[in-house]
């Protein structure tokens, strides 16, 4: 999951799961306690918030969490480890598990796809993952599933590769002083629909960027940088709401008249 863009007043859209302001992004690397090798495709679960992530081919991961949350790290052949978050950086070493036989296999709606063959290759965002890791993926986070036949990845007589692409997830963080206090006085995000907020934000972003391009007419102290906002992206209700409220806060604070043009 990749960070996406920077917008003024340190308002940033990140490829992370969206939560409330006290939640941050915890990052780290997962290795084997036995030999120090990095572990790809480890399932990281934020038990406190029911948020999941998967480590990359380099063993690195990023997951949404707040201080005090409990993260669970699980990987076939290794003991599951729970860690309490006390820092934005959390490296984890997993010990091998000699008692893995007989453990239940998580049920998945996609199990019918993979039960037919034993030679399949499973990819998660172009990274190899295990069959067990495939079964642990939250279906709601999947954007698409592709079955690839042939290719150079394995012998021609074993031509089946299942590739899964996860949905990008974003977060909006506003560092403008007074914004969070303003936010709690407004209607909650559930009052709106994502479509309505997106429609408003498309107009407001265009207006904001126009003013950024005209520093002789509009104050560059306010319009510090253009907003990289793609209407084609599904940012989610939380991001659309926080972005819209950012405009409303700036409008109220500086009397910008953003919605009156």
Predicted pLDDT at 107:
37
Bridge partners, residue 31, by sequence: 38, 93
Residue ranges for the chain with pLDDT beneath 50 = 1-21, 99-118, 151-156
**CA dist., res. 196 & res. 110, Å (int):** 34
What are the DSSP calls for 44-64, one per residue? EEETTTTEEEE--TTSEEEEE
**CA dist., res. 143 & res. 141, Å (int):** 7
CATH 2.60.40.1120 fits 24-94, yes or no: yes
Domain boundaries, the chain: 24-94, 111-166, 170-260
Percentage helix, strand, coil, to 5, in the chain?
25, 30, 50
**Phi-psi region for residue 255, left (φ > 0), alpha (ψ -120 to 50) or beta?**
left
Instruction: State if pTM tops 0.75.
Output: no
Sheet of 160-166: strands edge to edge? 127-129, 121-124, 160-166, 142-149
| Rg, C-alpha atoms of the chain | 22
**CA dist., res. 162 & res. 147, Å (int):** 5
Bridge partners, residue 75, by sequence: 78
Predicted pLDDT at 204:
92
């Amino acid at each position: 999951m990749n960070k996406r863009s920077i917008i003024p007043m340190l308002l940033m859209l990140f490829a992370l799961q969206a939560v409330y302001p006290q939640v941050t992004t915890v990052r780290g690397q997962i290795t084997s306690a036995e030999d120090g090798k990095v572990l790809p495709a480890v399932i990281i679960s934020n038990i406190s918030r029911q948020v999941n992530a998967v480590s990359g081919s380099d063993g690195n991961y990023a997951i949404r969490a707040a201080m005090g949350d409990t993260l669970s790290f699980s990987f076939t052949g290794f003991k599951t480890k729970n860690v309490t978050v006390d820092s934005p950086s959390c490296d984890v070493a997993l010990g091998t598990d000699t008692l893995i036989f007989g453990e239940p296999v998580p049920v998945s709606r996609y199990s019918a796809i993979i039960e037919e063959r034993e030679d399949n290759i499973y990819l998660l965002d172009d990274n190899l993952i295990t069959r067990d890791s495939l079964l642990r993926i939250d279906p709601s986070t999947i954007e698409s599933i592709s079955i690839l036949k042939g290719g150079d990845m394995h012998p021609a007589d074993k031509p089946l590769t299942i590739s899964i692409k996860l949905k990008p997830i974003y977060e909006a963080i506003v560092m403008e002083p007074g914004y969070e206090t303003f936010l709690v006085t407004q209607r909650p995000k559930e009052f709106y629909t994502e479509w309505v907020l997106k429609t408003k934000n498309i107009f407001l972003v265009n207006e904001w960027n126009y003013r950024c391009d005209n520093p002789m007419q509009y104050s560059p102290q306010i319009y510090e940088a253009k907003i990289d906002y793609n209407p084609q992206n599904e940012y989610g209700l939380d991001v659309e709401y926080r972005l819209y409220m950012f405009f409303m806060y700036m409008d109220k604070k500086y009397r910008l008249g953003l919605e009156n043009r």
